[in-house]
Amino acid sequence: MGKATAMVTGASRGIGRGIALALAAQGYDIAAVATRLQGDAVRPGLRELQREVEALGAACLPLVADIADLASHEDVVLQAVARFGGIDVLVNNAGVAPLVRADIMECSPESYDRLMDINLRGPFFLTQAVGRRMVAQVKSGAARAPKIIFITSISSRVASPNRAEYCVSKAGLSMAAKNFAVRLAEHGINVYDLQPGITATDMTAGVKEKYDRLIAEGLLLNQRWGTPEDVGKAVVALAEGYFDYSTGSVIEIGGGFSVERL
Protein backbone atom coordinates (compact mmCIF):
# COMPACT_ATOMS: atom_id res chain seq x y z
CA MET A 1 0.00 0.00 0.00
CA GLY A 2 1.06 3.58 -0.61
CA LYS A 3 1.41 6.26 2.03
CA ALA A 4 -1.64 6.91 4.17
CA THR A 5 -3.14 10.26 5.10
CA ALA A 6 -4.56 11.27 8.46
CA MET A 7 -6.73 14.32 9.07
CA VAL A 8 -6.24 15.60 12.61
CA THR A 9 -8.37 18.43 13.99
CA GLY A 10 -7.06 20.74 16.68
CA ALA A 11 -3.65 19.67 15.44
CA SER A 12 -1.49 22.66 16.27
CA ARG A 13 -1.10 22.12 20.00
CA GLY A 14 -1.73 19.85 22.96
CA ILE A 15 -3.10 16.38 22.34
CA GLY A 16 -3.70 17.12 18.65
CA ARG A 17 -0.05 17.98 18.11
CA GLY A 18 1.03 14.81 19.92
CA ILE A 19 -1.25 12.75 17.69
CA ALA A 20 -0.11 14.43 14.48
CA LEU A 21 3.56 13.92 15.31
CA ALA A 22 3.05 10.28 16.33
CA LEU A 23 1.27 9.54 13.05
CA ALA A 24 3.89 11.42 11.04
CA ALA A 25 6.64 9.41 12.71
CA GLN A 26 4.77 6.30 11.58
CA GLY A 27 4.80 7.55 7.99
CA TYR A 28 1.39 9.18 7.70
CA ASP A 29 0.98 12.41 5.75
CA ILE A 30 -1.00 14.89 7.84
CA ALA A 31 -3.93 17.09 6.89
CA ALA A 32 -3.73 19.35 9.93
CA VAL A 33 -6.78 21.41 10.89
CA ALA A 34 -6.67 24.26 13.41
CA THR A 35 -7.78 27.85 13.77
CA ARG A 36 -4.30 29.44 13.71
CA LEU A 37 -1.79 29.32 10.87
CA GLN A 38 0.90 31.28 12.68
CA GLY A 39 1.57 30.87 16.37
CA ASP A 40 2.57 33.37 19.01
CA ALA A 41 4.50 33.33 22.27
CA VAL A 42 1.66 31.49 24.02
CA ARG A 43 0.08 29.21 21.41
CA PRO A 44 1.76 27.48 18.46
CA GLY A 45 0.12 27.45 15.04
CA LEU A 46 -0.01 25.14 12.05
CA ARG A 47 3.24 26.43 10.55
CA GLU A 48 5.19 25.22 13.57
CA LEU A 49 3.54 21.82 13.33
CA GLN A 50 4.22 21.66 9.60
CA ARG A 51 7.95 22.12 10.19
CA GLU A 52 7.96 19.35 12.81
CA VAL A 53 5.98 16.93 10.62
CA GLU A 54 8.19 17.56 7.61
CA ALA A 55 11.29 17.02 9.75
CA LEU A 56 9.94 13.51 10.37
CA GLY A 57 9.78 12.88 6.61
CA ALA A 58 6.02 13.25 6.18
CA ALA A 59 4.02 15.85 4.28
CA CYS A 60 1.76 18.30 6.10
CA LEU A 61 -1.12 20.29 4.65
CA PRO A 62 -2.10 23.16 7.00
CA LEU A 63 -5.85 23.78 6.90
CA VAL A 64 -7.11 26.82 8.75
CA ALA A 65 -10.71 26.28 9.79
CA ASP A 66 -13.02 26.59 12.74
CA ILE A 67 -14.52 23.16 13.29
CA ALA A 68 -17.70 24.84 14.55
CA ASP A 69 -18.19 26.44 11.12
CA LEU A 70 -20.03 23.71 9.24
CA ALA A 71 -19.67 25.64 5.96
CA SER A 72 -15.90 25.09 6.09
CA HIS A 73 -16.05 21.29 6.29
CA GLU A 74 -16.50 20.47 2.62
CA ASP A 75 -13.65 22.75 1.61
CA VAL A 76 -11.35 21.17 4.19
CA VAL A 77 -12.18 17.70 2.90
CA LEU A 78 -11.76 18.71 -0.75
CA GLN A 79 -8.37 20.31 -0.08
CA ALA A 80 -7.12 17.21 1.71
CA VAL A 81 -8.32 14.89 -1.04
CA ALA A 82 -6.87 17.12 -3.75
CA ARG A 83 -3.46 17.07 -2.05
CA PHE A 84 -3.29 13.47 -0.88
CA GLY A 85 -5.86 11.59 -2.94
CA GLY A 86 -7.99 10.53 0.03
CA ILE A 87 -8.35 10.45 3.80
CA ASP A 88 -7.46 7.17 5.48
CA VAL A 89 -7.78 8.24 9.11
CA LEU A 90 -9.88 10.97 10.70
CA VAL A 91 -8.97 12.01 14.23
CA ASN A 92 -11.65 14.21 15.79
CA ASN A 93 -9.54 15.92 18.41
CA ALA A 94 -10.49 19.61 18.33
CA GLY A 95 -12.14 20.74 21.53
CA VAL A 96 -12.18 23.48 24.13
CA ALA A 97 -12.77 23.87 27.84
CA PRO A 98 -15.14 26.46 29.29
CA LEU A 99 -13.72 29.97 29.32
CA VAL A 100 -14.67 30.07 33.00
CA ARG A 101 -15.17 27.10 35.31
CA ALA A 102 -18.56 27.92 36.77
CA ASP A 103 -20.94 25.99 38.99
CA ILE A 104 -23.58 24.14 36.98
CA MET A 105 -26.19 26.43 38.53
CA GLU A 106 -24.36 29.40 36.99
CA CYS A 107 -23.52 27.91 33.57
CA SER A 108 -24.51 30.41 30.88
CA PRO A 109 -26.26 29.56 27.61
CA GLU A 110 -23.39 31.25 25.79
CA SER A 111 -20.79 28.96 27.37
CA TYR A 112 -22.97 25.90 26.80
CA ASP A 113 -23.56 26.73 23.13
CA ARG A 114 -19.86 27.44 22.51
CA LEU A 115 -18.82 24.04 23.84
CA MET A 116 -21.55 22.18 22.00
CA ASP A 117 -20.65 23.87 18.71
CA ILE A 118 -16.93 23.12 18.94
CA ASN A 119 -16.82 19.88 20.92
CA LEU A 120 -19.88 18.08 19.54
CA ARG A 121 -21.75 19.66 16.63
CA GLY A 122 -18.61 20.41 14.61
CA PRO A 123 -17.04 16.93 14.94
CA PHE A 124 -20.40 15.26 14.28
CA PHE A 125 -20.87 16.96 10.93
CA LEU A 126 -17.20 16.80 9.94
CA THR A 127 -17.37 13.04 10.48
CA GLN A 128 -20.44 12.95 8.28
CA ALA A 129 -18.54 14.75 5.48
CA VAL A 130 -15.37 12.69 5.81
CA GLY A 131 -17.38 9.50 6.28
CA ARG A 132 -19.05 10.00 2.92
CA ARG A 133 -15.63 10.37 1.30
CA MET A 134 -14.37 7.25 3.06
CA VAL A 135 -17.37 5.22 1.88
CA ALA A 136 -16.63 6.35 -1.68
CA GLN A 137 -13.00 5.29 -1.26
CA VAL A 138 -14.07 1.84 -0.06
CA LYS A 139 -16.50 1.45 -2.95
CA SER A 140 -13.79 2.43 -5.42
CA GLY A 141 -11.57 -0.38 -4.15
CA ALA A 142 -9.20 1.43 -1.80
CA ALA A 143 -6.56 -0.94 -0.46
CA ARG A 144 -6.58 0.56 3.04
CA ALA A 145 -9.63 0.35 5.32
CA PRO A 146 -10.35 3.84 6.70
CA LYS A 147 -10.50 4.55 10.43
CA ILE A 148 -12.28 7.24 12.46
CA ILE A 149 -11.09 8.09 15.96
CA PHE A 150 -12.93 10.35 18.37
CA ILE A 151 -10.88 11.92 21.15
CA THR A 152 -13.44 12.33 23.91
CA SER A 153 -12.50 12.32 27.61
CA ILE A 154 -13.03 10.53 30.88
CA SER A 155 -15.32 13.52 31.44
CA SER A 156 -17.80 11.87 29.09
CA ARG A 157 -18.75 9.66 32.05
CA VAL A 158 -17.34 11.45 35.14
CA ALA A 159 -19.28 14.41 36.47
CA SER A 160 -17.58 17.76 37.16
CA PRO A 161 -20.32 20.22 38.16
CA ASN A 162 -17.92 23.17 37.80
CA ARG A 163 -17.62 22.49 34.06
CA ALA A 164 -20.77 20.57 33.33
CA GLU A 165 -21.13 21.83 29.77
CA TYR A 166 -17.75 20.26 28.93
CA CYS A 167 -18.83 16.91 30.36
CA VAL A 168 -22.13 16.98 28.49
CA SER A 169 -20.39 17.82 25.20
CA LYS A 170 -17.98 14.92 25.61
CA ALA A 171 -20.74 12.51 26.61
CA GLY A 172 -22.53 13.45 23.40
CA LEU A 173 -19.36 12.92 21.40
CA SER A 174 -18.97 9.42 22.84
CA MET A 175 -22.49 8.58 21.71
CA ALA A 176 -21.73 10.03 18.27
CA ALA A 177 -18.78 7.63 18.05
CA LYS A 178 -21.03 4.67 18.83
CA ASN A 179 -23.56 5.70 16.21
CA PHE A 180 -20.97 6.20 13.49
CA ALA A 181 -19.43 2.84 14.40
CA VAL A 182 -22.77 1.13 13.85
CA ARG A 183 -23.56 2.98 10.64
CA LEU A 184 -20.16 2.58 8.97
CA ALA A 185 -19.46 -1.03 9.95
CA GLU A 186 -21.03 -2.34 6.75
CA HIS A 187 -18.36 -0.46 4.81
CA GLY A 188 -15.48 -1.84 6.87
CA ILE A 189 -14.80 1.55 8.45
CA ASN A 190 -13.90 1.15 12.11
CA VAL A 191 -14.74 3.89 14.62
CA TYR A 192 -13.21 4.27 18.08
CA ASP A 193 -13.70 6.39 21.20
CA LEU A 194 -10.41 7.30 22.89
CA GLN A 195 -10.86 8.83 26.34
CA PRO A 196 -7.83 10.68 27.70
CA GLY A 197 -7.67 11.30 31.42
CA ILE A 198 -5.66 13.94 33.25
CA THR A 199 -3.34 15.08 30.48
CA ALA A 200 -0.67 17.79 30.63
CA THR A 201 -1.66 20.45 28.08
CA ASP A 202 -2.31 24.17 28.14
CA MET A 203 -5.98 23.32 28.76
CA THR A 204 -5.12 21.80 32.15
CA ALA A 205 -2.34 24.22 33.14
CA GLY A 206 -4.71 26.21 35.33
CA VAL A 207 -5.55 23.20 37.50
CA LYS A 208 -2.05 21.72 37.72
CA GLU A 209 -1.77 22.16 41.49
CA LYS A 210 -5.11 20.44 42.09
CA TYR A 211 -4.26 17.40 39.97
CA ASP A 212 -0.68 17.21 41.22
CA ARG A 213 -2.15 16.77 44.69
CA LEU A 214 -4.78 14.23 43.64
CA ILE A 215 -2.23 12.13 41.74
CA ALA A 216 0.14 12.22 44.73
CA GLU A 217 -2.76 11.01 46.90
CA GLY A 218 -3.29 7.96 44.69
CA LEU A 219 -6.03 8.99 42.25
CA LEU A 220 -4.28 7.11 39.42
CA LEU A 221 -2.66 3.69 39.32
CA ASN A 222 0.05 5.08 37.03
CA GLN A 223 1.07 7.91 39.31
CA ARG A 224 1.83 10.61 36.77
CA TRP A 225 0.13 12.99 34.41
CA GLY A 226 -0.77 11.69 30.97
CA THR A 227 0.91 13.27 27.97
CA PRO A 228 -0.08 14.02 24.39
CA GLU A 229 2.45 11.37 23.41
CA ASP A 230 0.49 8.75 25.38
CA VAL A 231 -2.59 9.54 23.31
CA GLY A 232 -0.55 9.63 20.10
CA LYS A 233 0.68 6.09 20.66
CA ALA A 234 -2.86 4.82 21.09
CA VAL A 235 -4.00 6.57 17.91
CA VAL A 236 -1.15 4.99 15.96
CA ALA A 237 -2.15 1.53 17.22
CA LEU A 238 -5.73 2.06 16.05
CA ALA A 239 -4.71 3.61 12.73
CA GLU A 240 -2.31 0.76 12.02
CA GLY A 241 -5.04 -1.85 12.46
CA TYR A 242 -3.94 -3.46 15.70
CA PHE A 243 -7.56 -3.23 16.91
CA ASP A 244 -9.35 -4.08 13.69
CA TYR A 245 -11.72 -6.49 15.46
CA SER A 246 -12.76 -3.86 18.00
CA THR A 247 -14.84 -1.24 16.22
CA GLY A 248 -16.96 0.83 18.58
CA SER A 249 -14.54 0.27 21.44
CA VAL A 250 -14.05 2.80 24.23
CA ILE A 251 -10.39 2.98 25.25
CA GLU A 252 -9.30 4.97 28.28
CA ILE A 253 -5.87 6.62 28.22
CA GLY A 254 -6.09 7.58 31.85
CA GLY A 255 -3.46 5.91 33.97
CA GLY A 256 -5.89 3.43 35.49
CA PHE A 257 -8.32 6.13 36.59
CA SER A 258 -11.44 4.02 36.12
CA VAL A 259 -10.27 0.88 37.92
CA GLU A 260 -12.58 0.39 40.87
CA ARG A 261 -10.71 -0.50 44.03
CA LEU A 262 -11.03 -0.57 47.81
List the catalytic residues.
166
Quick count: other Cβ atoms within 10 Å of Cβ 216? 10
SS3 33: strand
Region at 9 (left for phi over 0; alpha for psi -120 to 50; beta for the rest): beta
List Cβ neighbours of 132 (8 Å cut-off, separation of 6 or more). none
What is the C-alpha to C-alpha distance for residues 19 and 95, in angstroms, rounded to an integer?
14
What is the C-alpha separation between 57 and 109, in angstroms, rounded? Answer: 45
| Buried/exposed 197-211: b ≥16 CB within 10 Å, e otherwise | bbbbbeebeeeeeeb
